[in-house]
Amino acid sequence: MQRVRQFLLRPSVEAGTNRWDWALLPVVLAGVVLLGWGASQMATPFQVGEPLPLSLDPVWLPYYLLRTSLRMFLALGASLVFSCVFAVLAAKSRAAEKVLVPLLDVLQSIPILGFLSITVTGFIALFPGNLLGVELAAIFAIFTSQAWNMAFSLYQSLRTVPAELQEAARVFQLSGWQRFWRLELPFAMPGLLWNMMMSMSGGWFFVVASEAISVSNQSIKLPGVGSYIALAIEQRSLAAVGWAIATMLAGILAYDQLLFRPLVAWADKFRFEESGGEDAPRSWLLAWLRRSTVADRAAGWFSRGLERSFTWFAPPHDGTSIRARPRMAAGRWQRAWDAAIAAVVMFAIARLFLFVHAEVGYAEVAHVFMLGFFTLLRVVVLIALAALVWVPVGVWIGLRPRWSGRLQAVAQFLAAFPANLLFPVVVVALVRFRLDPDIWLSPLMVFGTQWYILFNVIAGASSIPTELRFAARNLGLTGWLRWRRYLLPAIFPSFVTGAVTASGGSWNASIVSEYVSWGDTTLQARGLGSYIAHMTAIGDFPRIALGISVMCVFVMGLNHFLWRRLYRQAGERLHF
Amino acid sequence: MSAPVIELQSVSKMFRSADGHTRTVLDNVDFSLREGEVVALLGQSGSGKSTLLRLMAGLVSADSGAVRYRGQPLHAPARGISMVFQSFALFPWLTVQKNVELGLEARGMPAAERQERAESVIALIGLAGFEGALPRELSGGMKQRVGIARALVTEPEVLLMDEAFSALDVLTGERLRDDVLELWGSGRLSTKAILVVSHNIEEAVMMADRVLVFGSDPGRVRSQLSVQLRRPRDAEDPDTRSLVDEVYMLMTAAARRPARAVVEASLAERLPAADVAQMDGVLELLAEAPFSGRADLPQLGEETELSDDALLPIAHALALLGLAQLEGGDLQLTGLGRRYVDGDHAHRQEIFGQQLLAHVPLAAHIHHSLQQEAGGELPDAPFLKLLQERLDEAEAQRVLQTVISWARHGEVFEYDFNTGRIALPRSDEPPDGGDAPAEGPR
């Protein structure tokens, strides 16, 4: 009997399906068919200038949502692959690290829309006569809003794998491949997932901008929720905006329930802190999948395949072989590499001066820096205002455990919500009441990003040790003293985390929020964001580049001189 | 004499600090681990015993000299050498079974064989039934059992144990130690030699056939002691006790300060990391009955419930400050120490401050520098830099922290954590007034 079974394929013998499988089967099949069909729509013939059919009829919205979420999913996948390659290269090779880490630092401070205006022509040229080029440009734009923080998080995690675990991996002679899957990726998983969720929020926020692309004075609107919104704004249809908001909420909810929640629940086992205690995150989908034998078998098949792959990379030689001898670091190569980097930097600086000299002129540069200061002022003032409002609220919520769990989730959700959907309302109001756009457009910048402050403060306040709370009450701390000596220091680290994210997001949002339109009314606030948006609209390439570079300088400066210091201070002095 | 498994020949190891100074961690060490023996390596923290263990594991390479495994140079971790870690170093996301299988998986062993071997080792170490558990579900002792099973499953010739029992509570540690010794004695292991790095003197005597005492600055083998007690050993046996005493004597003798010619060297002295409150406590205990001024260190350790790595620095610090004397493994109260114990808080502070300035060159130097400043205040950075020229970064930090905490106690100078500045105490302040003292005596 044993013999026969081995010759037959396993599934045909042990046909052990259960009712969960039957429930799962149609869902999976329908999902596969939908995704396949959506994907096939991406590669239809297309010529630049040819109008794409787009309708404001809400009947089309489910289809648009499918297209949009497919794009976001592909971008997320690309970001994941990019992050792995980047992080492994940067963490394992010092030569690569020297170039890659600063490069990423610059890349992540480039406004997302900047990428789109620069790359879209290239992508279209890549697939002439096909929609795929435009699709790829849109996916790339979403990718740029997702990839950088994921890559950084993974890189940081790889650098901070505990020394004893690394030693254990070496003593037991794990190959690089095995170490990545067994040690490094699992260790990085919680941070990576968290950043994936943040990235997804960023992606939703910019979906309008990345689907409605203007290239060579033509506007291409890819079928999707983002384009639907763009069209609704053009045609001043408030009802359509309402429908779009509902659709987007459904999309965010679906991503949360179908992708992130199961992932978070599954990744709970990768928590490195060994203490239990907290409630493990739950997901109905994961519970469902775990009950299904088919899913179980698929997971088993995958993990067995992975395990088998470990054996391919086992090093053939032992530590006593000459091949295990560490190669001396060749000082000459290192110096040559440093020299090469220096040469490229010099060359770039020279080109930059030439560019400024020939294309835009120094007066323009000074003007753009001036605009940058306006935007900087807006960012700083608004973050401060948001902090004034949300810190007390966050602390109040955080100290009440019954509220904090639920409201934290709501705040996280609000952060994912594309605030630019509400911009039209603001335009209408500003025009009606004749308000100064220089001042009254500013709040839009933090509209979507203030929630980061709120939910981080909630998290910080709810993790204040109970004993400290009792002590504060016991000492009778009240009023300002209570805030200065107890609450503010206690939440400071998490506030800084939230404020860093909010500040980065606000810079990015300035491009959308300083230049807002509703039909043919366009309101503009003086600032760097509106400069870039305006130059993009009229297609002035050198000035787009100038605006982006200046914004990059501002963001990096702010990061280095303010946030990083506060961060370090928070880590060193104010830590439980 | 049986054949050496791992041999070290005049091995030296240097570490380069951030500012380019080199520091010798191991200096010209000769050592061989032979078949059939258990060797224990004792020494203070920072004496290089951990580095020695990592050299033998192939994790770090020597700057000069040779490390050989079975006569062949060891360039990287080898299959025959396995290791157990202080903090267990288990992969928290893998089950006990998968953790144990890790080394076999790396060798490309087929799944079925892997599973079988892992299961038998798990049963051997007394964890049968826990194959599917995640490490976070286990107690410390069980985690270390997994760590040992993971090391044994590859059937190593050499087992290296890096403070393997020190993260466990005393009772659990002793039980696990006895279980390992029983396995070793039963001949069921393929392991030919065991090296134990420890700071627990009793543990070393109970386990080893040979105890090596390591001296620091730079690390080298100071003395060797062969232990020929019959196994299984009894900790209460008079022979064992006298051996433990002997090792204490060797360890404390190692700390007696050699005469130094170079001033710079004495400034960057590796001060024992002794807590002021614990020093006070030990002195008080020493003065009382049953010790009445003189105590056998192992007994003192039992009485204070301090581990060796906490008690020895305290003893050294007291000797350094002239409050007690170390003699033949005994700690004896000096006349000054007696006055210190009898004094009130202010009096104690005064004595402590005087002794600190007289016997700790670093404290005297900081105090002297501060006195030359108009504001009586200096940043800590230059002192840290001075220390880093001789010590590595973490060690330099620790020494500065130690001298600051002692100086706070002796009211020699103060330190503001937020500004990172060292300052003379303000003389207009009454000695007991002001903010609560940072480091009270009790």
How many CB pairs lie under 8 A apart between chains A and B? 106
Other beta carbons within 10 angstroms of residue B396's beta carbon come to 21
Q: Which of A170, A271, A318 sits opposite B59 (nearest CB)?
A: A170
ipTM over 0.85: no
User: CB distance B91–A319 less than 8 Å?
Assistant: no
Q: Name the residue ranges covered by the structural domains of chain A.
A: 74-282, 337-576
CA A539 to CA A117: how far, in whole Å? 8
The reported pLDDT for the residue numbered B436 is 39
Residues B345, B223 share a domain:
no
CA B238 to CA B337: how far, in whole Å? 31
pLDDT tens figures, A494-530 = 888 888 888 888 888 888 888 887 877 888 889 998 9
Which residues of chain B does A314 touch, with a Cβ-Cβ cutoff of 8 Å? 106-108
The HSE-up count of residue A145 (CA atoms within 13 Å, CB side) is 32
Tell me the shortest Cα–Cα distance from B162 to chain A, in angstroms: 11
Q: What single string gives the DSSP state of each residue in A16-65?
A: ---HHHHHHHHHHHHHHHHHHHHHHGGG-B--TTPPPP----GGGHHHHH
User: CB distance B106–A175 less than 8 Å?
Assistant: yes
B417 touches chain A (CB under 8 A): yes
The reported pLDDT for the residue numbered A337 is 85
User: CB distance B77–A271 less than 8 Å?
Assistant: no
Residues B324, B189 share a domain:
no
The sheet carrying B38-43 orders its strands as: B81-84, B158-162, B193-198, B38-43, B210-215, B220-226
Residues B280, B216 share a domain:
no
The reported pLDDT for the residue numbered B181 is 92
A266 touches chain B (CB under 8 A): no
Average pLDDT over residues B62-87: 91
Residues B88, B40 share a domain:
yes
Residues B162, B299 share a domain:
no
Residue B85 has pLDDT above 90, yes or no: yes
User: CB distance A311–B108 less than 8 Å?
Assistant: yes
User: CB distance B74–A320 less than 8 Å?
Assistant: yes
The reported pLDDT for the residue numbered B18 is 62
pLDDT tens figures, A390-401 = 999 999 988 887
- Residue B148, both tokens: 């040992």
User: CB distance B75–A270 less than 8 Å?
Assistant: no
Q: What share of chain A has pLDDT > 70, as a percent?
A: 90
The reported pLDDT for the residue numbered B210 is 93
Q: Which of B241, B247, B344, B335 is nearest to B293 (CA)?
A: B335
Domain that holds residue B365: 276-423
> Average per-residue pLDDT in chain B?
86
User: CB distance A174–B106 less than 8 Å?
Assistant: yes
Residues B291, B414 share a domain:
yes
Residue B167 has pLDDT above 90, yes or no: no
User: CB distance B79–A319 less than 8 Å?
Assistant: yes
The reported pLDDT for the residue numbered B442 is 35
pLDDT tens figures, B251-265 = 877 555 444 434 445
Residues B346, B302 share a domain:
yes
Let me know if residue B433 belongs to a domain. no
A181 touches chain B (CB under 8 A): no
Let me know if residue B430 belongs to a domain. no
What CATH superfamily classification does A337-576 receive? MetI-like (1.10.3720.10)
For the domain covering A74-282, report its CATH number. 1.10.3720.10
Strands (E), B17-84: 22-34, 38-43, 64-69, 72-73, 81-84
The reported pLDDT for the residue numbered A576 is 52
B371 touches chain A (CB under 8 A): no
Q: What share of chain B has pLDDT > 70, as a percent?
A: 92
The partner residues of B197 in beta bridges, in order of sequence, read B41, B162
Residues B202, B59 share a domain:
yes
**In this structure, what CATH number is given to the domain that contains residue B207?**
3.40.50.300
Q: Give the burial class of B336: count Cβ atoms within 10 A of its Cβ; 0-12 exposed, 13-18 middle, 19 or more buried.
A: middle
Other beta carbons within 10 angstroms of residue A503's beta carbon come to 23
Which residues of chain A does B91 touch, with a Cβ-Cβ cutoff of 8 Å? 165, 168, 182-183, 186
> Average per-residue pLDDT in chain A?
81
Average pLDDT over residues B49-71: 90
User: CB distance B105–A162 less than 8 Å?
Assistant: no
B68: closest chain A residue by CA: A320
The sheet carrying B22-34 orders its strands as: B22-34, B4-16, B64-69, B72-73
The reported pLDDT for the residue numbered B254 is 52
> CA torsion sign, A259 to A262 to A266 to A272?
positive
Q: Is the backbone of residue B223 left (phi > 0), alpha (psi -120 to 50) or beta?
A: beta
Other beta carbons within 10 angstroms of residue A256's beta carbon come to 19
The reported pLDDT for the residue numbered B440 is 36
Residues B383, B290 share a domain:
yes
B70: closest chain A residue by CA: A320
**Would you give the end-to-end CA distance of chain A in angstroms?**
63
The reported pLDDT for the residue numbered B263 is 45
Number of domains making up chain B: 2
Tell me the shortest Cα–Cα distance from A312 to chain B, in angstroms: 7
Residues B329, B393 share a domain:
yes
Low-confidence ranges of chain A (pLDDT < 50): 1-15, 275-277
